[in-house]
């Protein structure tokens, strides 16, 4: 690396004051006038003052215009944000109303469907009971008809049994 000549050091910008403790405003003071700039520069550079033709005055003026434009821009952005926030609140409120209405409609449809299912279950269970009763009645009727077919032989055999008991009694007497 080439050695730095003393002349090139003089042409280099000196930003050492930025890292120093003196770069922070004392007591929260802000620069609000050219006199404040002059006092700050004198303080940072060991009491050296600068002439009125120094380019720092142009930088201060540009900075002042920049900060005023920035504050106007920030206030415009804040106003826009407030309006957008209000629009968003209104939109969210309207959306919530619409969603609540749709949800209420869906819930009422669901309630209707549940009622219909309940009625179907009740009807199907009643129909099921009626079908079971009908089937039981049919089976009972079939059993009764089978028993009626066998009643004549039962009567005949019962009468024959009594006759044989009576005959046995007469024989044994």
pLDDT confidence of residue 129: 82
Contacting residues for 29 by C-beta, under 8 A, at least 6 apart: 36
Looking at per-residue pLDDT, the higher value among 55 and 78 belongs to: 78
pLDDT of residue 74: 92
pLDDT band at 162 (very low <50, low <70, confident <90, very high): very high
12 pLDDT higher than 50: no
pLDDT of the residue at 38: 75
Q: Please report which confidence band the pLDDT of residue 29 belongs to, taking 50, 70 and 90 as the band edges.
A: very low
Question: Does the pLDDT of residue 87 top 80, yes or no?
Answer: yes
pLDDT in tens, 106-144: 888 888 888 888 888 877 778 878 888 888 888 888 888
Mean pLDDT of 67-77: 89
Nearest CA to 40 out of 59, 20, 25, 62 is that of 25
pTM: 0.33
Residues with Cβ within 8 Å of 38's Cβ and at least 6 positions away in sequence, in order, are: 49, 50
pLDDT of residue 10: 47
Residue 67 near residue 78, CB atoms below 8 Å: no
Report how far Cα 47 is from the mean position of its chain's Cα atoms.
Answer: 63
pLDDT of 31? 67
Over range 160-169, report the average pLDDT. Answer: 89
Q: With 80 as the cut, is the pLDDT of residue 166 above it?
A: yes
Q: At what angle do helices 56-172 and 34-44 cross, to 10 degrees?
A: 90
Mean pLDDT of the chain: 77
Task: Please report the pLDDT score of residue 30 as a whole number.
Answer: 65
């Amino acid at each position: 690396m080439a050695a730095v000549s003393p002349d090139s050091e003089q042409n280099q910008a000196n930003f050492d004051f930025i890292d120093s403790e003196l770069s922070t405003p004392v007591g929260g003071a802000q620069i609000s006038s050219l006199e404040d700039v002059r006092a700050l520069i004198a303080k940072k550079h060991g009491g050296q003052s600068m002439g009125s033709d120094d380019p720092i005055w142009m930088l201060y003026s540009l900075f002042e215009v920049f900060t005023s434009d920035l504050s106007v821009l920030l206030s415009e952005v804040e106003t826009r944000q407030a309006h957008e926030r209000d629009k968003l609140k209104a939109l969210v409120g309207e959306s919530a109303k619409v969603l609540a209405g749709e949800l209420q409609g869906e819930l009422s449809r669901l309630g209707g469907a549940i009622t219909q299912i309940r009625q179907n279950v009740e009807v199907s269970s009643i129909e099921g009971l009626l079908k079971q009763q009908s089937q039981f009645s049919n089976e009972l009727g079939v059993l009764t008809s089978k028993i009626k077919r066998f009643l004549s032989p039962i009567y005949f055999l019962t009468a024959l049994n009594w006759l044989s008991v009576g005959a046995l009694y007469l024989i044994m007497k």
